[in-house]
Chains A and B, each alone.
Chain A
């Protein structure tokens, strides 16, 4: 089902839903774009490109409470965390970040459901936004994602004129929302020019084709695992973890306790799940043993996990081509360049294209 909504009406609609939903939308503060809970429509900043930070943290926060504990006289009391979840709308999520969320779904919902993540997914309506202009670092089309893909969204917006959005009603949840607020929408008429026209930049981006062959990549990585090129590639890596924290699919975490101790030595506290990174030395370090003692091995693990191990395990890769790691790496390591170099090695050794 495809409808139209004018920018004015979208404003009215969001202002109305703000009274009953938490609304999370792209904003721009101090020249950084990110997703934030807004209180008025005017805070939203519609930009051509995807925000610097993905909405990952609204499902898997940098720190989440797992449970609370209280210890008194050798008695332990465990309590569920006081996570209260209002109904939420995330507005303006892009197809790559949506694909990333589906990757996180596989980790957190399959084979042992993470209740917190699951509750946050269930109470969130996702209103997507097509990308009309590719960002400088984008490569979603190289990993099989379309910049206007509405798959798994609830509703999808595509701006077709300056003040007009095409609205695709995708899921059942989206349909419910639409029928509740149908008066804000109008009928779309394809014969009336209500179809998106690709920008020249987008035509060029899509024409460029894949920057690497995603089909063969896990084989190239596998056969060059021990190649000395990894230490050359990763020589610059300072292990800061920016690539992993900004990656919309990276999900490695630590579990840690935080305490308040009282004078009678009773204490209470909270056990938390906290973002961690395979780039960090402590990630695999055990008291007597460190399986990945050098930065190049940790760097290689990140690439291998995204393009080989995750495929082995879930039959899909764990990179969505958002380009954030390329644009944010403080020493300019570019994942495309890394994959190209690995590809070249395979090509040189036996002509794999």
Chain B
């Protein structure tokens, strides 16, 4: 039987420098059988191993519709992520997963989708955005509101350009006041404030948001005032995790283990939780 704590070996296939402290790693399984058997859904996450440093938790930022690899977007912050930023293409890395639940993509079909992301919080949304774009006709209008501290801190710059050029997405980009540079053509202002100036209809819509807790807090207030019900707002929670399997106890909030019952929650679920996330 399988040792649930033992990762699979993956090889770094590509590295994209997103911002001064964020990189995206594209990983491929060393074992071709594992590669062909591996499936996941947008919203799920994994435990990534740097042998000798430890493990860290990141969402899978690539889309399940693009097979043969997974991507994770990593901000340099602690021991594991610092070591990860020093890796090169061809280096091995451990991976356990996919873990957790996923965005309810079947229930999103036929709906207008509003993605609201802040900073590196775009990573889990990007998995779903790409998933939806690959099945574009299954969904209604797609609006993406994305903001970061500064122009330099925007992640997936190449992809943002592609999205901008598509005619079937309404992409609104903004940076915090003071974060713009001379070439900046997007908006300036905090995401929740920018959101107020855009007309977002709650009718047949679902809002999906991820970003810093303070942004989410005000985004929720905004959505609430626009008539979105808690079941129409979906987010993914970040909690410290170790096992990813509902055993180590670390990500427990209220009756949920974020690693098993989450990380994707509707606001109807989150309102029932103690305020400890």
CB of A287 within 8 A of CB of B78, answer yes
- B184 CB to closest chain A CB (Å) equals 25
**Which secondary structure characterizes the binding site on chain A?**
mixed
CB of B78 within 8 A of CB of A115, answer no
Bound CA–CA A283/B239 (angstroms): 10
List, in ascending order, chain B residues with CB within 8 A of A316's CB: none
* Chain A interfacial residues counted at CB < 8 A: 49
| Complex partner residue of A289 from B2, B49, B51, B213, CB under 8 angstroms | B213
- B260 CB to closest chain A CB (Å) equals 8
Quick check: is B140 within 8 A (CB to CB) of the other chain? no
CB of A255 within 8 A of CB of B242, answer yes
* Chain B interfacial residues counted at CB < 8 A: 42
- A137 CB to closest chain B CB (Å) equals 24
Most buried by A among B247, B250, B253, B257: B247
Bound CA–CA A305/B256 (angstroms): 11
- A310 CB to closest chain B CB (Å) equals 9
Bound CA–CA A271/B77 (angstroms): 22
CB of A76 within 8 A of CB of B238, answer no
Given contact pairs A76-B92, A276-B248, A309-B252, A71 touches B54 in the complex (Cβ within 8 A): no
CB of A269 within 8 A of CB of B52, answer yes
CB of A257 within 8 A of CB of B249, answer no
Quick check: is B67 within 8 A (CB to CB) of the other chain? no
CB of B247 within 8 A of CB of A292, answer no
Quick check: is B4 within 8 A (CB to CB) of the other chain? yes
CB of B92 within 8 A of CB of A75, answer yes
**Which secondary structure characterizes the binding site on chain B?**
loop
Task: Encode B188-205 as 1/0 by CB contact (under 8 A) with A.
Answer: 000000000000000000
List, in ascending order, chain B residues with CB within 8 A of A225's CB: 274
List, in ascending order, chain B residues with CB within 8 A of A301's CB: 252, 276
Quick check: is B15 within 8 A (CB to CB) of the other chain? no
List, in ascending order, chain B residues with CB within 8 A of A309's CB: 252, 254-255
List, in ascending order, chain A residues with CB within 8 A of B6's CB: 66-67, 78, 80
- B59 CB to closest chain A CB (Å) equals 14
What would 19 A/B residue contacts be, using CB atoms closer than 8 Å? A66-B5, A76-B94, A80-B6, A108-B247, A112-B245, A112-B247, A115-B1, A251-B247, A252-B248, A252-B249, A255-B243, A257-B52, A259-B52, A271-B49, A273-B5, A276-B249, A284-B240, A301-B252, A308-B255
B interface residues (Cβ-Cβ under 8 A, vs A): 1-7, 9, 49, 51-55, 77-78, 90-92, 94, 212-213, 238-240, 242-243, 245-250, 252-255, 257, 260, 274, 276-277
Other than the given A284-B240, A288-B212, 18 more pairs (CB < 8 A) read: A67-B3, A75-B92, A76-B92, A78-B9, A108-B247, A111-B245, A114-B247, A115-B1, A115-B4, A251-B249, A252-B248, A253-B248, A267-B52, A271-B51, A284-B250, A287-B77, A304-B274, A309-B255
